[in-house]
Structure 1
Amino acid sequence: MVTTLHWLLLILILLTSVLSVTYSFKSRRSPDPRVRGLNAARTNICMGIMLVLIALFFMLAYSGSTIKVIFGALFIVLGLFNLFAGLRNHNVYRSMKS
């Protein structure tokens, strides 16, 4: 069961990493500021999810020492900040007129 969970987390981490890179390239190449902002917000959302998943994998894969728990908590906080900033920016850019 734990091995299946680790593999699932790894697959989700890879998926969000690929999506993050894809949206980042789309964001940098878009001439329209609205589309650029939407893709940048999607990049932040994917990076936030990826950081939370990395923290979960890190906390589940290894036995808990104080340093590992601190780094896991730090990744979760950083990931949640990216996720909420991306969601906020996505709502702002989505509501803009083209």
Structure 2
Amino acid sequence: MVDVLLWVFAALIVVTSAASAVFSFRARRTADARLRGLYAARMNISMGLMLIFIAVIQMFLFSGSTVRVVIGALFMLLGLFNLFAGLRNHSHFSKS
């Protein structure tokens, strides 16, 4: 059961990492400021989800040492901040 969860979270990390890279590339290549903001917001959302998935793997799927839990908590906070900022920016740029 743990192996299945590990593979699922690993696949989710790969997918969100690829989405983050694609949206970053699109944000840097587009000339329209509105689209650039939307792509950057989607990149932040993808990166936030990726960091949250990494934190879940660190905190819950492995035996918990203090360092592992602290690193997982930092990744969780950074991921939640990126997710919040991406959702806020996406709502701002989609209204324009």
Q: Please indicate, yes or no, whether the TM-score normalized by the shorter chain is above 0.5.
A: yes
Instruction: Write out aligned runs for 1:1-98 (5 A).
Output: 1-96=1-96
Gaps of 5+ in 2: none
Gaps of 5+ in 1: none
In the alignment, the residues of structure 2 paired with residue 33 and residue 6 of structure 1 have an alpha-carbon distance, to the nearest angstrom, of 39
The alpha carbon displacement at 1:45 in A equals 0.1
Deviation by residue 1:68-93 (Cα, 9 ceiling, x = unmatched): 11110010000000000000000000
The alpha carbon displacement at 1:61 in A equals 3.4
After TM superposition, the score normalised by the length of structure 1 is: 0.96
The alpha carbon displacement at 1:58 in A equals 1.3
After TM superposition, the score normalised by the length of structure 2 is: 0.97
Structure 1 runs, 4 residues or longer, greater than 6 Å off: none
In the alignment, the residues of structure 2 paired with residue 49 and residue 39 of structure 1 have an alpha-carbon distance, to the nearest angstrom, of 15
Task: Report the aligned-residue RMSD.
Answer: 0.7
